[in-house]
Amino acid sequence: MTEQEIFLRGVWKMIPDEEKTDWVEQIAEYKLDKTEPLGDYGSLIKSMLDKGVTASEIARLCKIIGYESVFSVLYHLEDPTASFEDFDESEETLHWGLYSIDPETEKPKEGIWSLHEYFLSMDPSGREMRPKDNDE
């Protein structure tokens, strides 16, 4: 497996799995706390459930949002100038990338590129984010 594939498999582990929905009910039990970051997470999920949105639909939506967020960050890694298009022209242009580290020298090796291009193909479900056949 390439470094790129290993990295992307790890990223997919960070995205909610739509096949596992037990977390939806658990989060729905969180009480609203306006003093905490994400303090409305539980109340939002509970409200969706109360309105008839199923746990499976919530999990699917969270997977889609997770995918879109990660894709945007991966794209950002490859095209930092797109992030600065609306900045004042006096701002310094930055360049960055993702590199693996040689374990012996602890120096960066060749960059890991095109992550956003291959991310979809690494979907662990094998469906490349397509809905399941039984989804409407």
Q: Given a cut of 60, is residue 91 above it in pLDDT?
A: no
pLDDT at residue number 62:
97
DSSP string across 27-74:
HHTSPP-TTSTTTTHHHHHHHHHHTT--HHHHHHHHHHHHHHHHHHHH
Q: Given a cut of 80, is residue 76 above it in pLDDT?
A: yes
pLDDT at residue number 93:
66
Residue 57: which pLDDT band, with cuts at 50, 70 and 90?
very high
Residue 78: which pLDDT band, with cuts at 50, 70 and 90?
confident
pLDDT at residue number 96:
81
Q: Given a cut of 60, is residue 135 above it in pLDDT?
A: no
Residue 100 DSSP SS3 = strand
Q: What share of the chain has pLDDT > 70, as a percent?
A: 92
